[in-house]
Amino acid sequence: MKYRKAACARLVGSGLEIGALHEATPVPAGATVRYFDAMDRESAIAAFPELDHSRLVQVDHVGDLDRRDLRKVGSASVDFVIANHVIEHVANPVAMLEDIHFICRPGGLAVIAAPDMRYTYDRERALTSFDHLWAEYEEGVETVSDEHYMDFLRHVGKHVFEDPDRRIADDIAHCRRRREHAHVWNSVTFEAFVRETIRRLGLDWTVMDCHPAEADSHEILMVLKKG
């Protein structure tokens, strides 16, 4: 995407990319990357037959972000974290930011991108409020609720409701397997979410860059530096 290359050109040392799947982020020569995902390469081939399987990364750490498995990577163990178009899929985005902070070394960078709903199939959905996200964090939510996926289906998969004999529960299960978008932001609300999370959790992060979505770049990109 438009600003991602410049942001990742700053990366040095040994890092981790979350949810790379078939779109691993290029990093500068000398930097090394391990990969964290919810499923290994073989499982991804089965779950996403439409992808170019030759481009799927070999996953080093298989874990569940919603179960806070990212912490198993180790405290202050990486120089950078890349998470492109992952945070909108998880049950607890506040906890994900907290865990990225946990594994970053002092001086380390986090490059986080999310889609702006105005430019995606989510455009008819309601924005996710910070109060909603904070309540899920305080409750220790570890699973995306069926209601999140029902909201996805009502606005993105409307056709499933046209067949009176269709089992909507099966469609929800399909959304869960594919980890469809649980939360929805635009550029303004995403930046506000990240900044408010930093403030409330007292995270030692400085926002180095924040690029809102534009007509030719539909993602929001933020670069955070651990103090």
Buried b (16+ CB within 10 A) or exposed e, 32-61: ebebbbbbebeebeeebeeeeeeebbebee
Helical ranges in 48-163 per DSSP H: 93-103, 130-138, 146-155
Query: Can you give the pLDDT at residue 2?
Result: 76
Q: Which two tokens stand for residue 102?
A: 């946990």
Query: Can you give the pLDDT at residue 42?
Result: 86
Beta strand 205-211 with 219-226 is antiparallel
Task: Say if CB 39 and CB 62 are below 8 A apart.
Answer: yes
- Model-level pTM? 0.93
Write out pLDDT tens, residues 165-189: 899 999 999 999 888 999 999 999 9
Write out pLDDT tens, residues 84-106: 999 999 999 999 999 999 999 99
Query: Can you give the pLDDT at residue 68?
Result: 97
Query: Can you give the pLDDT at residue 21?
Result: 87
Which range of 1-15, 41-55, 107-121, 158-172 scores highest in mean pLDDT? It is 107-121
Q: Which two tokens stand for residue 184?
A: 């929805």
Task: Say if CB 23 and CB 55 are below 8 A apart.
Answer: yes
Q: What is the mean pLDDT of residues 118-136?
A: 97
CA atoms of 52 and 56, how far apart (whole Å): 7
What residue has token string 């691993």? 24
Q: pLDDT-based confidence at 201, cuts 50/70/90?
A: very high
Task: Say if CB 113 and CB 85 are below 8 A apart.
Answer: yes
Beta strand 78-84 with 14-18 is parallel
Percent of the chain predicted with pLDDT > 70: 100
pLDDT at 164 over 90: no
pLDDT at 1 over 80: no
CA atoms of 201 and 45, how far apart (whole Å): 37
Q: Which two tokens stand for residue 24?
A: 């691993």
CB atoms within 10 A of CB 94: 23
Write out pLDDT tens, residues 2-36: 789 899 999 999 999 999 988 899 999 999 999 99
